[in-house]
Amino acid sequence: MDIREVIKTVNRMQADGVIENYAIGGAVGATFFLEPMATLDVDIFTRLQPEPGSVIVNPTRIFDYLKAHGGVMEGEYIVLDGWPVQFLPPAGALVEEALAEAVHVDVDGVPARVFSAEHLAAIALQVGRAKDKARLLQFVESGVLDAARFQAILARHGLEAAWLRFQRQFIGDES
Amino acid sequence: MTTDIARILESKRAHRNALAARPIAEKLRLLDALRERELLIRRASLRGAQTIHEVHEDAASYVDKPA
């Protein structure tokens, strides 16, 4: 089990033209900025392209490629190197922007593309499950967020009221 | 060992910060270890899963929604 091998495989997929740009999100993405947190899967965000001459998006090409490279299908996941991996299209303007503005990180010589800390925090606010709120609090307490950039993202995506509510509930501070 | 809750919380915070500051490759190896531990626990509890409902988590909805 080696998550770096998963990243290498996704990089190869991109180099081979199976996917375009990608970015790691979810708990694995957050681990690039925070302490490691247990997670069930690896979320890879990428635009799923329709087949040439078609308007219908078909992920079969991704799955066929990965199966040929040792991946095993398990429900909505494909298991790579022991990790269930989910390929997710950017559904919504915030995730679209997060994908476009993802940051490049070097993992011991393996390049990786990851959502920025500010986008991960904004997505956590938008998704809003209990564990997302806990993650957002971790981002706030860790001090890794660029406050101006984070505020601008919240404003662009209509999340300011949700942020105020979050602050009232968990931080006790609306500054 | 202390029972001073303020010191305990500060110690936890310091430990989390130290983990967060580790090199990314090391943090990803820790993720691998966490996943392996989770699989061990899951396998060990398979027998109990027939009588105890497994923890279920809904998938995240990344679609924009009203604030």
Asked if the Cβ–Cβ distance from A141 to B30 is below 8 Å, we say no
Residue A6, SS3 per DSSP: helix
Q: What is the DSSP string of B3-55?
A: --HHHHHHHHHHHHHHHHTS-HHHHHHHHHHHHHHHHHHHHHTTTGGGTSPPP
Amino acid letter for position B18? A
Residue numbers of A between 87 and 116 with CB closer than 8 Å to B: 88, 90-95, 105, 107-108
Q: pTM for the whole thing?
A: 0.85
Provide, rounded to the nearest whole percent, the portion of chain A with pLDDT above 90.
Answer: 82
Query: Which amino acid, one-letter code, is at A154?
Result: L
ipTM of model? 0.86
Nearest CA distance, A22 vs chain B (angstrom): 16
Query: Residues near B54 by Cβ (< 8 Å), separated by ≥ 6?
Result: none
Q: What is the pLDDT of residues A60-87, one digit of tens each?
A: 889 999 999 999 999 889 999 999 999 9
The rounded distance, in Å, linking the Cα atoms of B57 and A54 is 35
